[in-house]
Amino acid sequence: MIAESGHYALVLALALALIQSIVPLIGARLNDAALMNVARSTALAQLLFVGASFIALVTLHVASDFSVANVYENSHSMKPLIYKITGVWGNHEGSMLLWVSILALFGGLVALFGNNLPLSLRAHVLSVQAWVASAFYLFILMTSNPFLRIANPPIEGRDLNPVLQDIGLAVHPPMLYLGYVGFSISFSFAIAALMEGRIDAAWARWVRPWTLMAWIFLTLGIAMGSYWAYYELGWGGWWFWDPVENASLMPWLAGTALLHSALVMEKRNALKVWTILLSILTFSLSLLGTFLVRSGVLTSVHAFASDPTRGVFILLILCVFIGGSLSLYAARASSLKQGGLFAPISREGALVLNNLFLTTACATVLVGTLYPLGLEVLTHEKISVGAPFFNLTFGPLFVPLLIAVPFGPMLAWKRGDLLGAAQRLMAAGIGALLVLALVWAWARGGSALAAPAIALAVFVILGSLTDLVERAGLFRVPFATALSRARGLPRSVWGTAFAHAGLGVALIGIVCETTWNSEYIGTMKPEDVAKVAGYELKLDGLLQRQGPNFREMIAQFEVFSDGDKVSVMAPSKRSFSTRGSSTTEAALLTRGASQLYVSLGDVTSEGAIAVRIYHKPLVLLIWWGPVLMAFGGMLSLSDRRLRVGAPKPARAQQRLQPAE
């Protein structure tokens, strides 16, 4: 019954989405408020029904109802409860259901908090949202129904892929989807603006918080996924330039650009046409990501479900939405009014530069991701484009961007003073040079590029702090005054500083980990000692243990530093009998921001065990950086000016803005 109810609820959600796609638009044409208001009720009802459908699937998984194909294929009665729940989206069908649920959630939020939007804009936005939703409901119902029954129910399920039986699965996909799908809001607003042929600063004030929210989730989602891969895959890699990772990085890059261009639009009423295009592109890249991951066109560690009919269907959705929105853009963009003027050296100019580099970097990732696919279709030649390609293209493009980051917030709107900004950044520059000298003097081995890269990161961090110091007047006015000024600064200023500093922090982590990573790979017998980066690891012994749905072999290590026992580490190897596969559970020992990383290989015939031990200096900064960025985003989101649903400023105030 539950499966059928869930299926039925999904069909009802589709019907509601179809109504929502058409009726409000007719209302907008006829200027009929009642018809336009239909969008609000249908959006909320849609959320209710998709939510019910999703809960139905969760219930089936928790109850281990193996008469449902999806549960049978991805669950096991002995699996711990948390993995029964997360297993819902650890497969193709369930993850698509999560995708549309989140889409409906965002639609519902717009309906709920959109009371102060112009009525016709809200009607248009929710309609566009419903087109996307309808397409994906159809996709699920026609090609990926999670509620299919099996005629002769088996007694036991096939279990979830062991690699996915981890807390990472509970956090990473929902976060990532909140980010991916969150960009649908700015897409819908962009299409609505094009259809209405009207766009103003109020539009940007509306779009920015939604984009920011999506961006925060996507940032955390990507960072979480990277950390998950780092500890789960057993060899300490945290970014593989895998097409699936690129699929999430591209919307992030475009979304970051969008965030900054929406700022220009909100404050200066400029870059309108570009902001609209970026909104379309960002969500298009999210759709492309969904296509790459869900259609199985890629060979990659992430592709855990694939079926060609699905690929063609998503490709169709992709073509219709990207093609349609870009055609609409081409037809209508010229009718949007020109925005404000600015000199090349100005805050706007800096943000344009940011957009230029971010979108170009995004384009190089796109080329690197799609080139092998295109080449295979055209010439049947198979190639792989890996880290070397991206290091050679993405890296050089990010260097000028990072140098420019501290300058941006220092420049005034309209006409900036580059020399003045440079003078104020003098201290940050000197700090960076000092770090450069220190690293050069102290560092042994590694790439010659490491020291300049760390200096650049320090420049970004100090530069971001300089902006706060300057604004608070620290060192110029009495300390108490500076403190109260700092407290009075808009939260978005703090947010900017944190987000920019996060970039620098992540860069330090990346450089240190890749340059001064030390490793020991070899076989060890009990009582053997391995030495890595000043630590001594003694293998105490091996023991076997029975888990809920696996057996594991644990190796006990004692860790010594300068002869003192620091800790014990117990990496293990788990074998899952249902799928006949095994996973490596690495042991991590955190010391400051650095980590010791131990993972196991096979047992050799002489009873020794293959062991990989890494020392990864400052590796945690790689993920603290994105967390700082997301924290900055949240600060900015909590700024009064940007609060979701903040009332529009009075008309009189708008008129007071300087005329262009």
Q: Select the residue interacting with other proteins from 22, 32, 171, 389 (CB under 8 A).
A: 389
In the complex with other proteins, the residue whose CB is nearer, 64 or 393, is 393
Quote the tokens at residue 224.
């979480």
Query: Hunting for tokens 């490709």 — which residue is that?
Result: 315
Residue 140, CA atoms < 13 Å, CB-side half-sphere = 30
Task: Return d(Cα 639, Cα 641) in angstroms, integer.
Answer: 5
In the complex with other proteins, the residue whose CB is nearer, 34 or 377, is 377
Q: Which region, judged by CB under 8 A, interacts with other proteins, from 134-142, 252-260, 375-383, 461-469?
A: 375-383
Task: Return d(Cα 90, Cα 158) in angstroms, integer.
Answer: 13
Task: Return d(Cα 118, Cα 557) in angstroms, integer.
Answer: 64
Q: Select the residue interacting with other proteins from 11, 367, 483, 543 (CB under 8 A).
A: 367
Q: Select the residue interacting with other proteins from 304, 398, 413, 520 (CB under 8 A).
A: 304
Task: Return d(Cα 51, Cα 16) in angstroms, integer.
Answer: 14
Q: Select the residue interacting with other proteins from 320, 602, 643, 654 (CB under 8 A).
A: 602
In the complex with other proteins, the residue whose CB is nearer, 11 or 392, is 392
Task: Return d(Cα 623, Cα 635) in angstroms, integer.
Answer: 18
3-state SS class at 601 = strand
Residues 195-234 binding other proteins (CB under 8 A) are 234
DSSP state of 308: H
Task: Return d(Cα 369, Cα 371) in angstroms, integer.
Answer: 6
Among 397, 501, 494, CA closest to 459:
501
Task: Return d(Cα 129, Cα 17) in angstroms, integer.
Answer: 9
Quote the least distance from Cβ 579 to other proteins, whole Å. Answer: 6
In the complex with other proteins, the residue whose CB is nearer, 141 or 363, is 363
Q: Is 283 in the site for other proteins (CB under 8 A)?
A: no
Q: Is 275 in the site for other proteins (CB under 8 A)?
A: no
Quote the least distance from Cβ 225 to other proteins, whole Å. Answer: 16
Q: Is 308 in the site for other proteins (CB under 8 A)?
A: no
Quote the least distance from Cβ 341 to other proteins, whole Å. Answer: 6
Helices 33-62 and 92-113 meet at what angle, rounded to 10?
A: 140
Q: Which region, judged by CB under 8 A, interacts with other proteins, from 120-128, 353-361, 404-412, 537-545?
A: 353-361
Among 217, 226, 201, CA closest to 252:
217
In the complex with other proteins, the residue whose CB is nearer, 440 or 520, is 520
Q: Is 307 in the site for other proteins (CB under 8 A)?
A: yes
Among 435, 429, 430, CA closest to 450:
435
Task: Return d(Cα 87, Cα 76) in angstroms, integer.
Answer: 10
Site string for other proteins, 534-573 (x = CB under 8 A): ---------------------------------------x
In the complex with other proteins, the residue whose CB is nearer, 1 or 151, is 151
Residues sharing a CB contact under 8 Å with residue 458, sequence separation 6 or more, in sequence order: 431, 432, 435, 504, 508
Task: Return d(Cα 257, Cα 285) in angstroms, integer.
Answer: 13
Q: Is 645 in the site for other proteins (CB under 8 A)?
A: no
Q: Is 658 in the site for other proteins (CB under 8 A)?
A: no
| Distances from the Cα of 321 to the Cα of 39, 140, 160, 184, 288, angstroms | 20, 17, 33, 11, 11
Q: In terms of residues, how long is the chain?
A: 660
CB 364 within 8 Å of CB 393: yes
Q: Is 334 in the site for other proteins (CB under 8 A)?
A: no
3-state SS class at 338 = coil
Number of residues that bind other proteins (CB under 8 A): 66
In the complex with other proteins, the residue whose CB is nearer, 51 or 296, is 296
Quote the tokens at residue 415.
């006409």
Site string for other proteins, 111-150 (x = CB under 8 A): -------------------------------------x-x
Site string for other proteins, 511-530 (x = CB under 8 A): ----------xxx-------
Q: Is 634 in the site for other proteins (CB under 8 A)?
A: no
3-state SS class at 164 = helix
Q: What is the dihedral of CA 400, 401, 402, 406, to 10 degrees?
A: 110
Q: Select the residue interacting with other proteins from 81, 334, 381, 444 (CB under 8 A).
A: 381
Q: Select the residue interacting with other proteins from 116, 335, 604, 657 (CB under 8 A).
A: 604
Q: Select the residue interacting with other proteins from 353, 468, 497, 642 (CB under 8 A).
A: 353
Q: Select the residue interacting with other proteins from 334, 546, 605, 653 (CB under 8 A).
A: 605
Q: Is 484 in the site for other proteins (CB under 8 A)?
A: no
Among 586, 532, 569, CA closest to 234:
586
Quote the least distance from Cβ 158 to other proteins, whole Å. Answer: 6
Query: Hunting for tokens 């925060």 — which residue is that?
Result: 216
Q: Select the residue interacting with other proteins from 306, 518, 556, 561 (CB under 8 A).
A: 306
Q: First and final CA of the chain: distance in angstroms?
A: 64
Residues 41-100 binding other proteins (CB under 8 A) are 69, 72-73, 92
Binding site for other proteins (CB under 8 A): 69, 72-73, 92, 148, 150, 152-154, 158, 161, 163, 234-235, 298-299, 301, 303-307, 341-344, 352-353, 356-357, 360-361, 363-364, 367-368, 371-372, 381-386, 388-389, 392-393, 396-397, 521-523, 573, 579-584, 601-602, 604-605, 610, 612
